[in-house]
């Protein structure tokens, strides 16, 4: 009986399942890929998402913001891929915070009508805004962060 209890507790302490693992690996890979493109082939495209307020209130240029966010995405992606099971919920909350923090960039792209990544109409840019909450939920689900928080 003690063995069953300890197995149940282990599962509760470190949320994991095949769907969570698959979605966590997918999100981690997506973030690493996106981060690398920030630093290389899509650097100019990402500048369309940097709000003027960011460069106005910091000493960073638009390009430096793109580079810094690329490094952050690579670090988050690698953390999602390789964090210890017990650390995954924390990584999930950090990723959710990151996706929340970059949302103003999506709003700026919509408000300024900037074309990037095939988002060349107001409708496409508007629909893109609804993808950010999906990324937030994805990071919380795939790491078990939300499940741990609501208990």
Report pLDDT digits (tens) over 52-106.
Answer: 888 888 899 999 999 999 999 999 999 999 999 999 999 999 999 999 999 998 8
- The DSSP 8-state label assigned to residue 87 in this structure reads G
pLDDT tops 90 at residue 138: yes
pLDDT of residue 15: 55
Mean pLDDT of 47-52: 85
pTM passes above 0.85: no
Question: Residue 31's Cα: distance from chain center in Å?
Answer: 7
6 in a domain, yes or no? no
Inside any domain, residue 104:
yes
Are 14 and 86 spatial neighbours (Cβ–Cβ below 8 Å)? yes
13 assigned to some structural domain: no
Q: Give the chain's domain count.
A: 1
- The per-residue pLDDT for 45 is 86
Residue 9 reports pLDDT greater than 50: no
What is the spatial distance between Cα 131 and Cα 117, in angstroms, rounded to a whole number?
14
Cα-based distances in Å from 45 to 16, 27, 139 = 35, 21, 24
**Residue 138's closest CA among 94, 96, 78?**
96
CB 83, CB 142: distance < 8 Å: no
Nearest to 49 by CA among 112, 97, 94, 91: 112
Q: Is 5 part of any domain?
A: no
Determine the pLDDT at residue 71.
98
Q: Answer yes or no: is 93 within a domain.
A: yes
The whole domain housing 44 covers 18-145
Q: What pLDDT is attached to residue 8?
A: 41
Q: What whole-number distance in Å separates Cα of residue 16 and Cα of residue 14?
A: 6
Say if 79 falls within a structural domain. yes
């Amino acid at each position: 009986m003690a063995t069953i209890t300890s197995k149940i507790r282990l599962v509760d302490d470190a949320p994991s399942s095949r769907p969570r693992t698959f979605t966590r690996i997918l999100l981690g890979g997506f973030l690493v890929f996106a981060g690398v493109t920030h630093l290389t082939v899509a650097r100019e495209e990402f500048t369309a998402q940097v709000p003027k307020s960011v460069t106005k209130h910091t000493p960073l240029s638009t390009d430096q913001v793109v580079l810094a966010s690329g490094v952050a995405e690579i670090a988050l992606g690698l953390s999602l891929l390789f964090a210890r099971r017990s650390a995954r919920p924390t990584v999930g909350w950090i990723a959710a915070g990151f996706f929340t923090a970059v949302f103003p960039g999506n709003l700026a792209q919509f408000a300024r009508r900037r074309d990037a990544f095939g988002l060349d109409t107001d409708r496409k840019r508007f629909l893109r805004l609804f993808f950010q909450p999906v990324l937030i939920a994805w990071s919380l689900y795939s790491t078990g962060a939300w499940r741990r928080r609501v208990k």
